[in-house]
Structure 1
Amino acid sequence: MTRAFLPLALAAAVAMPAIAGAAETPLPPRIIVSGEGEASVAPDLALLSLSVMREAKTAREALNANNDAMAAVIAAMKAAGVSERDLQTAGIQINPRYNYPNKPDGNQEAELVAYQVTNTLSVRVRDIAKTGEILDKAVSLGVNQGGGISFTNEDPAAAITEARKKAVADAIAKAKTLAEAAGVSVGKVVEITDQNYAPPPMPMNAKAYDAAGAAVPMQAGENAYKVVVNVTFELK
């Protein structure tokens, strides 16, 4: 009688799946919940976007007039305590302006009227109490476009940390409520992920300001930093 023998390597390969399957243990039941936390803090930084626009018959004349006006604005910023590192040119635009007269023959050929030069300056004001005064001086010295303002925080880490703690506490409370309703209890934390949401800027427009009056009134309010966490718990 003849016996058939499997090669040793093949026999081991056939036996391994059974052994591996026997060693696997089912994962414990889990629950995933989201928690939200929010912390508010007063802003300590004002961001201004100030533009000077000048118009002249030639681009050179318009640029010269713009340069003089912007130089006066920058000097006023420095005199008010704004440092060099907080002043940054955001862009310079030179655009021709055309007129389209209605002629008797119906031809509306474009006529070059002037050149417009716009210089935009980004300003960071670290002493928020001076924001209205600085903006008032800028408008008085020639800022006639832009005027966007937003209030932010240079280092919101402490507020975000507080919001994270609140978000995790909220997630734990939700998990316990859900587990209790299901007749089980919450076990250890398996995974945590989070997302931060910075407060949106609050834009304002310089055209609404009265440059002839006193310093522009400002209300900085508070910035609310929000954190959402997703927490996975084991269930007992």
Structure 2
Amino acid sequence: MKKALLILSVLFITMSYGQEVKQVPQINVSGEGKVKVAPDEATIAVTVETKGTDAKNVKKQNDEKIEAVIKFIKKMNLAPSDFKTQRVSLNPQYDYEKKKHNYNATQTIEILLKDLSKYDELMGGLVDAGINRIDNVTFQSSKMVQYESEARKLAMKEAKVKAEDYVSVLGQKVGRAMTISDNSQTNYPQPRYASMKLMESSDMSAPRETLAVGEINITANVTVSFILE
């Protein structure tokens, strides 16, 4: 009997609680904020790759080239914290036709270039020093945190304006935000080489233009739920 009374009491409390819950009128909207900036930095990943039939000799050749590359980077007066070895590998590769092993050694260096006016000089010197593979060049801004904050604020403002537009015809007002979801992504421009322009130029002494860095689109996307008053 006591057990039955306990169950009925719990059910009554649950039903009472359910009756007291009220639906809060709200509106869900999305907002986007965009900030376009010119990049002032580049992260460059370059690799020295050597191949041969003797593992020890292949590794030695690779190390010698990397040593020359690092010496050149230091001559460019880059801070020690702005370049680092990212990856080192020595892998056997079996040649089924000749039935013997070859070896492939690679070392990758990542460089943070804070002065884009030195890009051509740096890349040319790296190739001369022994680099034979450019893996990636990513452009960025040294003020990314500031610009991302600006984009988020613009996204929130757009979301609120949207909500106000929707409810303006209903005689209601937009209240405080209930939930905010951030769906932001940043896209970095990749390099484009002006090789056709160089081939068509008749003045070989003119400054080289091998890069069009474009702009970085820093975009913030939010979804906001506002209470309606």
Q: TM-score, normalised by structure 2?
A: 0.79
Aligned to 1:111: 100
Q: 1:72 aligns with which of 64, 68, 72?
A: 68
What percent identity do the matched residue pairs reach? 28
Partner SS state of residue 89, structure 1: strand
Shift of 1:192: 2.5
Cα pair distance change 1:140/1:88, threshold 3 Å: same
Task: Decide whether the 8 Å contact of 1:136 with 1:215 is kept in 2.
Answer: no
Partner residue, 1:45: 41
- Per the alignment, residue 171 of structure 1 pairs with 159
CA–CA separation in structure 2 for the residues paired with 1:184 and 1:29: 10
Q: 48, 53, 78: which is aligned to 1:82?
A: 78
* Contact 1:36/1:168 (8 A) holds in 2: yes
CA contact (8 A) 2:192 2:213 kept: no
User: Secondary structure of the residue that 1:219 maps to in structure 2?
Assistant: coil
Instruction: Give the aligned partner of residue 212 of structure 2.
Output: 219
Give the conservation status (yes or no) of the 8 Å contact 2:140–2:188. no
| Normalised TM-score (structure 1) | 0.76
Indicate conservation of the 8 Å contact 1:43/1:151, yes or no.
yes
Structure 1: where are the runs of 5+ without partners?
1-5, 102-108
CA contact (8 A) 1:55 1:117 kept: yes
Contact 2:188-2:217 within 8 A present in 1 as well: no
Name 2:113's counterpart in structure 1: 125
Offset at 1:201?
5.2
Whether the 8 Å contact between 2:155 and 2:221 is mirrored in structure 1 is yes
- Find the structure with the greater CA-based Rg: 1
Determine the structure 2 residue equivalent to 1:229. Answer: 222
Between the aligned partners of 2:210 and 2:121, the Cα distance in structure 1 is 9
Number of aligned positions between the proteins: 216
TM superposition shift of 1:200 = 3.9
Deviation at 1:28, TM superposition (A): 3.4
Letter aligned with residue 96 of structure 1? P
